[in-house]
Amino acid sequence: MPKLVFILLVLFTCRLNAQEHCATDLENQLEQLHDEDFANGINELNKLSEEFEQLMTPSRNGFKEITIPVVVHVVYREEENNISMEQIKSQIDVLNRDFNAENDDIEKIPEVFRGLASSAKIRFQLADKDPYGNFTQGVTRKLTTLENIGTETLYHQSNRGGSDPWPQVHYMNVWVCELEGNTLGFALLPGSKMSERDGIVMSPRAFGTMGTAVEPYNLGRTFVHEVGHYFGLRHLWGSDDESCSSTDYISDTPTQLKENFGCKSFPTYSCPSQPNGDMFMNYMDYGNDSCMLLFTQRQVELMQLIVKTNRSALFHSSGFTGLDQLQTPEVKVYPNPSEGVIHVEYSNGLPAFVEVFDVLGNLVYRHLPQSRIELLSLEFLSKGVYTMRTEMEFTQIVIQ
Ligand SMILES: [Zn+2]
């Protein structure tokens, strides 16, 4: 049997037998096998996450709060799963509270970890403008005949029983629909190339704080976890190989062997090198909703980096009426032309990257800005004209 077919078979069998409550790892692996562009995008996401972990120092400031337009596609086979607007709003409220560290139960975090709890400065609101410019409540509803449509990869296709996404660069798409087995949800990771399934898929059993939501997943925190994936966060234990050397690319979460379910007591140890044990109360573990309490500073910084890179189009979203969030960091370069040593001055916040391309479009230099004015040494480049990119800004530089 060809290797690819074998891998696909194994993965599909895994999906059928999935007892995981978050299917993000599995669904992203499947999507990478189906879509080469997406697979390349995930490789780039991994590289970006590695650079972040190794090179970017903590406490970067200058992240301006962003509000992200959300569209919820309710795809239901049984009327009870045609969830109410109130239930949807209860979920958006939890998301805003937890992403901004405004949860009252933050005091339940063990003292050794409490200082790490951080606000992502990311807010969410149901879109009030649809892709055609019409007023909307940010919710679509679709009756389907397909069982477990969230597990079949059809939830995002209107003509096959699902509901088409709104343009994913401008809206965070959420499908609330039946999922097979114990799966509560999953999200597609933000590679530099998006999957056409990009967004978050949630079971009605774990969405919002009322109606169809069922204990112990009725406090809205499974969705907080999935939105963490949507912004590039991984599970605390890294990959599923049950090894203490696998990484989540985040330096302030302790290394962890595997998932923790339920509500653990502090301390809980899984990797011997970690003096305080597992951070089982982190949103990126698998605890009960009542026991998930924080994102750390570095998790928040990685999500903010993703907002500024792979998901930067959300800054320009047309999903809200009369809201212009556009705030592109501006850059001044001097002297220009130069002999290769240049000052770069940023205003409107630090960009995530400075990249320099040659005339053929090859990336020849990449730098992660650390302060408002910097000296860059590009003497290694041969004489010529280059393009410097800082997020959405392009500046021509000449080396002579
Ligand atoms: Zn997950």
Task: State pLDDT tens for residues 341-362.
Answer: 999 988 766 676 788 998 888 8
Could you tell me the distance, in angstroms and rounded to a whole number, from the CA of residue 363 to the centre of ligand 1? Answer: 33
pLDDT of residue 360: 84
The tens digit of pLDDT for each residue in 14-30 reads 444 445 689 999 999 99
Measured in Å, residue 301 CA sits from the centre of ligand 1 at 18
Active site residues: 226
The share of the chain scoring above pLDDT 70, in percent, equals 90
Q: Per-residue pLDDT for 372 more than 90?
A: no
Distance 284 CA to ligand 1 centre (A): 6
Q: Single out the residue of 218, 202, 213 nearest to residue 289, CA to CA.
A: 218
CATH superfamily of the 11-316 domain? Collagenase (Catalytic Domain) (3.40.390.10)
Give the model's pLDDT for residue 261.
94
Q: Is it the case that residue 221 has pLDDT exceeding 60?
A: yes
Identity at 212, one-letter amino acid code = T
Look at strands 122-126 and 66-76 and give their pairing. Answer: parallel
- 259 CA distance to ligand 1 middle (Å): 10
- How much of the chain exceeds pLDDT 90, in percent? 68
For 234-285, the pLDDT digits (tens) are 999 998 788 999 999 999 999 999 999 999 999 999 999 899 999 999 999 9
CA of 245 to the centre of ligand 1 (A): 19
pLDDT band at 326 (very low <50, low <70, confident <90, very high): very low
Domain range 330-399, CATH architecture: Sandwich (2.60)
Amino acid (one-letter) located at 121 = K
Question: By three-state DSSP, how is residue 200 classified?
Answer: strand
Task: List the beta strands (DSSP E) in the chain.
Answer: 66-76, 122-126, 139-143, 172-176, 185-187, 200-202, 261-262, 286-287, 330-334, 341-347, 354-357, 363-367, 373-377, 384-390, 393-399
CA of 328 to the centre of ligand 1 (A): 31
Give pLDDT tens digits for 156-214. Answer: 999 999 999 998 888 999 999 999 999 999 999 998 888 999 999 999 999 999 999 99
Long-range own/partner contacts, residues 99-103 (CB < 8 A, 24 or more apart): 99/123, 99/124, 99/224, 99/227, 99/295, 101/294, 101/295, 103/293
Provide the 3-class DSSP secondary structure of residue 176: strand
Domain boundaries, the chain: 11-316, 330-399
92: helix, strand or coil: helix
